[in-house]
Every structure is written in C-alpha cells, then in structure tokens.
Chains A and B, each alone.
Chain A
Amino acid sequence: MSRIDVRKTYKLYIGGQFPRSESGRSFVVNDAKGRLLANAAQASRKDARDAVVAARAAFGGWSGRTAYNRAQVVYRIAEVLEGRREQFEAELRAAEGITPARARSYVDAAIDRLVWYAGWADKITQVVGNANPVAGPYFNLSTPEPSGVIAVVAPRGPLLGLVSVVAPLIVTGNTVVVIASQDNPLTAITLGEVMATSDLPGGVVNVLTGSQSEIAPWLASHMDVNGIDLTGVEDAELATELEVAAADNLKRVRRPAPDTDWLAEPGLDRMTQFLETKTVWHPIGV
C-alpha cells in the first residue's frame, strides 16, 4: 500500500504564530513548470494590521536587547537554516526550476549573509556613531538607534532576496512586517519556521503572503509604521503611490531596486537607512 502524502498548509507568520489569513482566503502557488505546488494564505489588510500590532509590541524588547545578544540570535537563525538546508534546496528547485548546484549556492549565500549581518550588530554603532568635537567642555556623542517598525516588500529571490532585506533590519533592532514575493511565497513561510525556532522573539519578523498591490498600500499609509522598504516593488506606478502614502507620517522610504544582484557584497546602506541618530551632550568631569 502506498503511503498517503502529508501535505503542508502554508500559513502566515505573525507574532510568532502561524495563523491562517483572517479573510479565510488562499491562492494557488505553482512551480516553475506551472504545476500546483501548494496553496498559500492570501493575507488581507487586517492581517497586515495585526502584523503591525505584533511588530510594535515586540519592538521594545527587541531593540532593548544588547547588540551582542541580537547578533547571537541572528547567528542562530543561520545555524538552524544550515541544519535544514536540504529542505530549502528542494523548495528552491521546485519553485524556481533551478539546478541542484545553483540551489545550493543560493542557500549557502543566504546562510553566509545572515552570519555577515549578525557580525555587524555590535559593530555598526562604532562605524556610523561618532564622538563629535564641540566648542565647550562636553562630550558630544552620536549613536544610531533603530527606527521602529519597518514594512518591507520583499524581492523575488525567495530565500536569498528575503534574507538580504530582513536581516539588516533586525540586527540593528528594528522589527519587521514583510510581504513575501508574490510568485514564490512558500520559502518565506518555511524561513518563518526557522526563525520561530531560533530564539527570535515572536513579532520581530512577521511574514505575509499574498498580493503586493493589495497589502502594501495599507502598510505604506499606516501611521504606526516608521519606515518602508520598497525593494520588491516592480510596478513603477504602485511604487509612486506607496511613496506618496508613506509621506503622511514621514516614513523613511527605501526606493525599489528591481535589478539588484543579491549575490554581491551588500554594503551597509540597508542597515543605515533605517537608523535614527541620537546625539547626547555630557559634561566632561574633573
């Protein structure tokens, strides 16, 4: 007797839980050859709202941790990802129709990227912070602080692309609501499973799957979101609309970058873009 398949239900990742969409909707995800791969939850604006609430609730605790501890947690994500690499390689091959060697190289790059950003957690302050010279008997110190809750529209690369936009935000202490790539949303949810088992507190990363054009405008206009990263927006008109909506509460906006080479060295700007500079004056003692 042949064994019955254990089919997986792909749901959302919000506040450390894996709920179905509040709307009860789902959509079909096909593999590279157009065959049914699975059904994914189709998030609604209310799921986005819940995700922002979860991200806001998680912000105080996460940003209050030491940079050293955040580095450990992000490194732990890399560790757990390494242990489940076969699952990710298989998912990438099914979703994108790529060769085993290429799938392996993407997973390698995603793990390396996490380790690279983990290392930055306790170093970014020294690089972008400063002891400013002032004309008086004071220390004048500038230090970077996380902006808050950041909405992210993830690019196409289902694993490497997602890791490359999320990791730089969380190492600095931001919390994130990310809309996974519309074409390949499944790997994002599997990555959610990795994050849920990596000591990452619930709500620090929230993953929504579904229509970019449906959810993104609600996040762009949301008054409790402090920044939005439009990296994965490919429709220029939608991008403009989102930038306009984001202006209402002066969100920090990162503009679309459709042709990014995710395998290249990332640089610091994904971290520095969503940091605020705090400058304090302190009298020099005796």
Chain B
Amino acid sequence: MTPTASSTASSTSSHAVFDDVVRSDSSLRRFLHGLPGVDQVGCEARAAGLATRSIKTTSKAYAIDLAIRMVDLTTLEGQDTHGKVRALASKAMRPDPADPTCPATAAVCVYPDMVATAKQTLGDSGVNVAAVATAFPSGRAAMDIKLADTRDAVEAGADEIDMVIDRGAFLSGRYLDVFEEIAQVREACGDAHLKVIFETGELQTYDNVRRASWLAMMAGGHFIKTSTGKVQPAATLPVTLIMLEAVRDFREQTGQMVGVKPAGGIKTTKDAIKYLVMVNEICGDDWLDPDWFRFGASTLLNDLLMQRTKMTTGRYSGPDYFTLD
C-alpha cells in the first residue's frame, strides 16, 4: 500500500470539509439524500456498453498481469483449515510455479483466526494479509465485539481489515450510526488499511450504493468494497460503476483517493477485464493499480492463470494444471 491515502487521513478519521455534514443525523441525511439520483437505465446501459470493449494481444497481456496483481485471494469458509490457508498463501506469492515472471497477488483474505497462519507463510513477501472483521458477513454483533474482532485481527498481523457495515441501520436511515461505526473501526485499525463492505446486494437501490459510498469515504475508509461474497447478487458492473464515480468525485472534492474492490461473482478473465476497462474509463489510470483497485476472488485467479498460459505458450490450458484452491 502506498502511504498517500493514510498520510492525509490517518490524523482524523473524517475530513474537515465534511464536519458540518456529519454534525448530526439530520445534516448527514440531508447531504446523502441530496446526492444526485442514479439513472438506473443509463447506468446499466453505460456498464453494458463498456463491457463490449475488445481487449487484445499486448493490452490483454498487460490486463491479465495487472488483474493478477489486484487479486485478493480469498477463502472465507467455515471449513477453512490452517493447511488450506498456508496453501493459499503460497499460491498468492507464486500463482504459477511454472513461470517465475508471473506476478504475485495483492493479498490473501481470511477470517481473523487465520491471520497469524497466513502472515507466517507470507513473511515479508510483499503480499498483504487482509482479514474480514466486525462479525462478518452479517455484521450483527454488539459494537465492542466488532471492535475487539478488529483489534484481534490487527494484533495478529493483518495489514488490511475488511469490515461490513450494519445494513439494518443503513436501510432504516440511521446513517450517523453507520458513520460512527466505520470511524470507530477505522480507529481500531491503527496502521492497517480499512475496506468498507456495503453488501450492495442488500442495499436494494443504486441510490443507496451511492449514499453508502460517500458515507464510508467521509468516515475514513481507505477502500470501498461491494460485497461479502455470501449474498447474491454480489459484485456487478453497474454497482461498481457507481462506486467508481463516487471515488472519482470524492477526489475532485477532497483531493484524496479511495480504492474500490468488487468482490464475489467475478470468475473469468473476461469479467475482470471488463472491470479494468471501466476503471480506466470512469476514474482514469491512476486507479489502475493494486493500491487502488482490487478483486475479491478465489476462482478468478485460476482463469487468469489459464489465459496467461495460453498467451505465453500459444495453446489452451486446462484446469488440471492449476491448484483447485
């Protein structure tokens, strides 16, 4: 992670620009509901239009390597074992053991109790450990438990914390509660970077996605993330488009960059490239970097590796030649 985001934001969890906005529940609501509404049809058409771009040869090779570097290799199952996490961490460091030119992924993403295991394997390889915290995936726990969950993960060595917002509070309009929660978790994170998960599949409308994006950015999140991967629909192109627009507008207003992480349901190289095209078109190439855009995925990596192998060897590869997890 580059320090640019944290250097301006770590001193205060919110920005002076928004002090008036977050003063009370009603001023916050006025601001969020005053954001321009999303044209649903227009947004979906734009996302679909961008998805038709054809990316070939050298651009495709670049996109595949970039996408691999952006992957947060994720395992969030009840059945996770230390062995599986070690295997996953090894894969994150060297995704294609047969090809030393293949870059490492950005991070591995695990439950807090697995952080130490992942950290031990990853060492100083440069691959970060991300931990989901705050009673992931539902977010239904008392505040002190969520904070303890976060501190636990940070103490165990997590470089990044993926928190979930309280969707119940958000949907019932208690925006300040959500704001405070994010700000407190941000504080509990210390030096670790905070990703704020909205679970857009539960937010019902695009307008809510835009509001949640601004709320999380004002509260000091380093990244905004679409989904836990446990709820369908997970990441979609239109939802990510709205979030990208939000981080773009936020930088215009505050000069500060926030990252975006779509997660869940991105399974093929084709999907990943569609997202990258969108990032470039909406936000520009400042965001085409693992510090500012991530994919939360597990199966995506194998497809990226198969496509990469196809490009280097000139023949189609098969799933037999890559690890299952």
Query: Number of B interface residues, CB 8 Å?
Result: 8
Among the stretches A29-37, A123-131, A215-223, A276-284, the one at the interface with B is A215-223
- B315–A52 touching, CB < 8 Å: no
Give the complex CA separation of A224 and B321 in angstroms: 9
Give the complex CA separation of A61 and B314 in angstroms: 30
Give the complex CA separation of A245 and B313 in angstroms: 12
- A221–B315 touching, CB < 8 Å: yes
B317 sits at the interface (CB 8 A): yes
What sequence of 0s and 1s flags, for each residue 216-250 of chain A, a beta carbon within 8 Å of any chain B beta carbon? 00100111110000000000000000000100100
Residues of chain A contacted by B315 (CB below 8 angstroms)? 218, 221-223, 245, 248
B124 sits at the interface (CB 8 A): no
| Chain A, 260-285, CB within 8 A of any chain B CB | none
Interface SS of chain A: helix, strand, loop or mixed?
helix
Interface SS of chain B: helix, strand, loop or mixed?
loop
A252 sits at the interface (CB 8 A): no
| Chain B, 303-325, CB within 8 A of any chain A CB | 314-321
Give the complex CA separation of A221 and B319 in angstroms: 15
A254 sits at the interface (CB 8 A): no
Residues of chain A contacted by B319 (CB below 8 angstroms)? 56, 224
A49 sits at the interface (CB 8 A): yes
Give the complex CA separation of A255 and B57 in angstroms: 34
Give the complex CA separation of A223 and B317 in angstroms: 5
Residues of chain B contacted by A224 (CB below 8 angstroms)? 316-320
What sequence of 0s and 1s flags, for each residue 283-315 of chain B, a beta carbon within 8 Å of any chain A beta carbon? 000000000000000000000000000000011
Closest to B319 in A: A224
Give the complex CA separation of A49 and B314 in angstroms: 13
Give the complex CA separation of A172 and B321 in angstroms: 25
Minimum C-beta distance from A167 to chain B (A):
26
What sequence of 0s and 1s flags, for each residue 33-76 of chain A, a beta carbon within 8 Å of any chain B beta carbon? 00000000000000001001000100000000000000000000
Closest to A221 in B: B315
Residues of chain B contacted by A56 (CB below 8 angstroms)? 318-319
Minimum C-beta distance from B317 to chain A (A):
5
Closest to B320 in A: A224
Residues of chain A contacted by B316 (CB below 8 angstroms)? 49, 52, 218, 221-224
Q: What are 18 inter-chain pairs, A to B, with CB distance below 8 A?
A: A49-B316, A52-B316, A56-B318, A56-B319, A218-B315, A221-B314, A221-B316, A222-B316, A222-B318, A223-B316, A223-B318, A223-B320, A224-B316, A224-B317, A224-B318, A224-B319, A224-B320, A248-B315
Residues of B in contact with A (beta carbons under 8 Å apart): 314-321
Which 4 A/B pairs are nearest by Cβ-Cβ distance? A224-B318, A221-B315, A223-B318, A222-B316
Knowing that A218-B315, A221-B314, A224-B318 are A-B contacts, what are 20 other residue pairs whose CB atoms are under 8 Å apart, sorted by A's residue number?
A49-B316, A52-B316, A56-B319, A218-B316, A221-B315, A221-B316, A222-B315, A222-B316, A223-B315, A223-B316, A223-B317, A223-B318, A223-B320, A223-B321, A224-B316, A224-B317, A224-B319, A224-B320, A225-B318, A245-B315
